[in-house]
Homo-oligomer: A and B are copies of this chain.
Amino acid sequence: MRDVSIIGIGQTQVGEHWETSLRHLAYYALRDAMMDAGVERVDALVVGNMLSGEVSAQAHLGALIADFAGMRGVEAVKIEAACASGAAAVRQGILGVASGMQDIVAVIGVEKMTDDVGSKVTAGLASAADADYEAVHGISFVGLNALVMRRYMYEYELKHEDFAPFSVNAHANGARNPNAMFRRPITEKTFLNAGMVADPISLFDASPMCDGAAAVILCPTELAKQFSDKSVRIAASTIATDTLAIHDRKNPIWLQAAEDSARQAYKLSGYTPADIDFFELHDAFTIMSALSLEACGFAEPGQGTRLAKDGDITLSGKIPICTMGGLKSRGHPVGATGVYQIVETALQLRGEAGENQLPNARVGMAQNIGGSGATIVTHILTREN
């Protein structure tokens, strides 16, 4: 087993890229990551994507992107694990390098949701839920999260306004990220006045539909110095799963797979929650921020919003989250999101996070969630020097 490091990162701005095709988006991110790493070829390409078949009538992205990026012939596959496709692809890339069968692997997360001209995206996203027992009843993904949020508010006697700090923090950080989709800070008042999407989820609880691509270049840690003096080491990479259907879980307001994959990541890396300097969590909805913080050991059950209210999740707080805007403000191009999180974690560890740079960021955690918590991928990254 070889240790694996990240020697290059790349990303496109997240947004509505009407004029840019899926293959172009992927290429731009890959090109930037390869230039950053200083590599001209890779042994394999791993693509994370969820919806291209449903939305763009295009499967087979591995070969497509390999060819379009000028690497015709190279080994390439696509990984899908709903909204956790991006980080699951990073995990597969890590296995390839760790195996010794591949030295340089490029992982690309790409999603183009705005090609949709009807309800394909909403139907596609619902396919992350259980088709036979959830989606068949017509519930959308926002609807599912609304049910979870309502239950959580009931159990812990919370109000909608208690979730405002998550959204305010995300937009404050996103405003200073040149690659974010939404670059304007919001106030609590904006949050409270927002239109309802699916009660109690309002517009500022929910992440947007958008397009984007991000990429990382992986290589064995022992070779990383040859390519980069700012490489970032993968201290842990784990995936845990749970039932697709929320009603099948013992506790609908507890992310068991987040707890499982985080616990395993702590064990593999030797770190504890106290060692984590910042946490790129999966704030597809504000409720998910609270649940993630609790399942990963940063807050007691029911105390996630309290942590946010106390300011602990801001850049100067105890456990900064979504330091580049998170899914809410940077945007959530679903199959690409997990790779964006890894790229942003690397930016912080390399000291290249610009106005959002954390002082002394040495250990960062990124967590990518598929469905309503059925696939959860956790990565812990550390500075090499």
Contact = CB atoms under 8 A, between A and B. Distances in A.
A81 B73 contact: no
Given A1-B99, A58-B131, A79 B78 contact: yes
Contact of A60 (B94, B100, B101, B128): B128
Interface stretch (A167-175, A198-206, A238-246): A238-246
Given A63-B244, A242-B67, A257-B73, A80 B81 contact: no
Interface in A111-152: 123-124, 126-132, 135
Given A99-B98, A256-B73, A127 B60 contact: yes
A91 interface: yes
Interface stretch (A9-17, A290-298, A369-377): A369-377
Interface stretch (A49-57, A274-282, A342-350): A49-57
Nearest to A81: B77
A7 interface: no
Greatest chain B CB density within 10 A among A21, A72, A257 is at: A72
Given A53-B124, A81-B63, A240-B73, A99 B88 contact: no
A213 B63 CA distance: 24
A305 interface: no
Contact of A88 (B56, B77, B126): B77
Nearest to A261: B75
A99 B95 contact: yes
Contact of A75 (B72, B77, B123, B238): B238
Given A63-B244, A92-B95, 5 more contacts: A54-B54, A60-B129, A62-B375, A74-B240, A98-B100
Interface of A: 1, 21, 23, 44, 50-51, 53-54, 56-64, 66-67, 72-82, 88, 91-92, 94-96, 98-102, 123-124, 126-132, 135, 238-244, 248, 256-257, 260, 370-371, 374-375
